[in-house]
Amino acid sequence: MNLRLKVETLLTAALAEHPSLFLIELKVGVDNSVRVILDGDHGVTLQDCMNVSRAIEHQLDREEEDFFLEVASAGVGAPLQSKRQYVKNIGRKLKVELTNLPPVQGTLIAADDSGFTLTWKQREPKPVGKGKVTVEKQQTISYDQIESAKVTI
């Protein structure tokens, strides 16, 4: 069994013990460097990263294969990659780059398997008379329209 398959198996078992955590990315380099990026429904603590790292590292034999293991949380500025991350971030502000459309920035108010909904306030000309009025806008976006989406701070 190659290193990637071993790590995937061990990672699946480790995440089963911590159901609030989920995998964002797993990379295994040609130099046997293993990079695991995690996120969680309630965030990821240092202890979570240590637990997953130990669950993987203690089951691999360095005599058989030398490797470098890094387990980290998805950074706050990292793009959202999983539908579960959108659900986790309901109530937070997102900046979304769309395919063939101008970018949208607003508060995430809903997310499901097909897409998510943003709301924001915008100034528009009054329908009658001079001046502008603030209106509340809302847009539902499907996941296949997104180039990138990031939580803004």
Q: Determine the Cα–Cα distance for residues 125 and 40; give it in Å rounded to an integer.
A: 43
Domain spans of the chain, in order of start: 3-73, 83-151
The CATH fold of domain 3-73: GMP Synthetase; Chain A, domain 3 (3.30.300)
Which of 85, 113, 89, 118 has its CA nearest to residue 101? 118
Q: In what order do the strands lie in the sheet with 93-98?
A: 132-142, 115-125, 104-111, 93-98, 146-151
* Mean pLDDT (whole number) for 14-36: 93
Question: Which pLDDT value is given to residue 66?
Answer: 87
> What pTM did the predictor assign?
0.82
Task: Give the architecture-level CATH label for domain 83-151.
Answer: Roll (2.30)
Question: Which pLDDT value is given to residue 127?
Answer: 86
Backbone dihedral angles phi then psi of residue 140, each to the nearest 5 degrees: -100, 130
User: In 76-117, where does DSSP find H-type helix?
Assistant: 83-88
Residues in contact with 36: Cβ distance below 8 Å, sequence separation at least 6, in sequence order: 7, 11, 23, 25, 26, 52, 53, 56, 69, 70, 71, 72
Question: Which pLDDT value is given to residue 144?
Answer: 92
